């Protein structure tokens, strides 16, 4: 930032259905992995904020849980979180998976936004995988929309999207330091990385029935960190599955999570994982607090 330059700042929210690629887009924009990504739905549980500061402009980008019809308590809290994160932001990106296209359920999101007086930027993602004629892009409801086509994985079109966001940022003071990438604490990012490994390595419903919390974080004199995390599950047999035969599974998850923590957070880590059974963790306000959610 050169002296005499006026600062511009914009708060932005990315919403869409589960698996549209919201977290992948946030990571690409930031140029660093701060939001976890898996091929499974409902990986993101709360708002993940990334900060991009470039020349005179600061973009504060919020990744959110996907919008779907929630059934369980935790799911309801996640969807509530997605909707509430749009209030007060300057720009909203509605991210659409081009492979499935602009379907009726996305039209419902579009209309609900309209009722709130919000006109989102419509961003069609995964164009690397989608046919040239994008399903639903010709829907008359969106004939006057700003549409940008991207591949959040490959980066195609992301520069154009960033230019659009920057162009529409208003004059105002930056809210974060120039080199901040996120407002999330390291201990939270570290537990998300372990949760990502559980999503990648455990089958079916298990990843949805657990939560991970960093219990302690101790910085050692040699610059490394000793991190204790607890994986909280709702049933004893989930615990056995996570431990695996002679502890093989938890060992594998611990090794992978540690490697990712070291890579993504740029630290040397000693990671210790514990598994606890707490039948009602998904009814416990403290579990929601940790994730940045509220239990209704």
Interacting residue ranges for ligand GDP, rule: CB under 6 A: 16, 18-24, 37-39, 43-44, 66, 125-126, 128-129, 151-153
Pick from 115, 34, 42, 38: nearest CA to 82: 42
Q: Which listed option, ligand GDP, Mg ion, none, makes contact with residue 24 (CB within 5 to 8 Å by class)?
A: ligand GDP
Q: Find the shortest distance in angstroms from Cβ 90 to ligand GDP.
A: 21
Axis crossing angle, helix 248-265 with helix 236-243, rounded to the nearest 10: 70
Q: Which listed option, ligand GDP, Mg ion, none, makes contact with residue 50 (CB within 5 to 8 Å by class)?
A: none
Q: Which listed option, ligand GDP, Mg ion, none, makes contact with residue 152 (CB within 5 to 8 Å by class)?
A: ligand GDP
Rounded-to-integer distance, Cα 289 and Cα 117, Å? 30
Pick from 7, 68, 13, 6: nearest CA to 43: 68
Query: Binding segment for Mg ion among 16-24, 94-102, 207-215, 265-273 (CB under 5 A)?
Result: 16-24
3-state SS class at 12: strand
Q: Find the shortest distance in angstroms from Cβ 149 to ligand GDP.
A: 10
Q: Are 124 and 137 in contact (CB under 8 A)?
A: yes
11 vs 47, beta carbon nearer Mg ion:
47
Over the window 133 to 152, marking each residue x when it contacts Mg ion by CB under 5 A and - when it does not, the resulting string is --------------------
44 vs 91, beta carbon nearer Mg ion:
44
3-state SS class at 119: coil
Rounded-to-integer distance, Cα 161 and Cα 133, Å? 20
Q: Are 213 and 191 in contact (CB under 8 A)?
A: yes
Residue 23 near Mg ion by CB under 5 A: yes
Residue 44 near Mg ion by CB under 5 A: yes
Start-to-end CA span in the chain (Å):
43
Q: Find the shortest distance in angstroms from Cβ 210 to ligand GDP.
A: 18
What is the binding site for Mg ion (CB under 5 A)?
A: 22-23, 44
């Amino acid at each position: 930032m050169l002296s005499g330059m006026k600062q511009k700042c914009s708060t932005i929210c990315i919403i869409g259905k589960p698996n549209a690629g919201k977290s992948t887009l946030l990571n690409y924009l930031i140029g660093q992995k701060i939001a976890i990504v898996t091929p499974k739905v409902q990986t993101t549980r709360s708002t993940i904020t990334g900060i991009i500061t470039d020349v005179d402009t600061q973009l504060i980008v919020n990744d959110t849980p996907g919008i779907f019809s929630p059934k369980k308590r935790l799911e309801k809290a996640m969807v509530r979180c997605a909707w509430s994160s749009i209030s007060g932001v300057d720009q909203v990106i509605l991210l659409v998976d081009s492979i499935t296209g602009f379907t009726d359920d996305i039209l419902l999101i579009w209309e609900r936004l309209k009722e709130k007086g919000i006109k989102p930027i419509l961003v069609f993602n995964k164009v690397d995988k989608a046919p040239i004629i994008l399903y639903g892009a010709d829907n008359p409801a969106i004939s006057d929309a700003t549409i940008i086509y991207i591949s959040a994985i490959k980066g195609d079109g992301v520069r154009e999207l960033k230019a659009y966001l920057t162009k529409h940022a208003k004059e105002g003071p930056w809210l974060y330091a120039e080199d901040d990438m996120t407002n999330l604490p390291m201990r939270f990012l570290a537990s998300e990385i372990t949760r990502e490994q559980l999503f990648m390595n455990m089958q079916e419903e298990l990843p949805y029935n657990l939560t991970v919390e960093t219990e302690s974080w101790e910085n050692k004199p040699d610059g490394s960190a000793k991190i204790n995390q607890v994986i909280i599950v709702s049933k004893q047999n989930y615990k056995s599955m996570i431990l695996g035969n002679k502890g093989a599974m938890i060992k594998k998850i611990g090794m992978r999570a540690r490697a990712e923590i070291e890579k993504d957070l740029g630290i040397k880590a000693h990671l210790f994982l514990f598994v606890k059974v707490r039948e009602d963790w998904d009814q416990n306000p403290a579990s929601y607090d940790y994730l940045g959610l509220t239990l209704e």
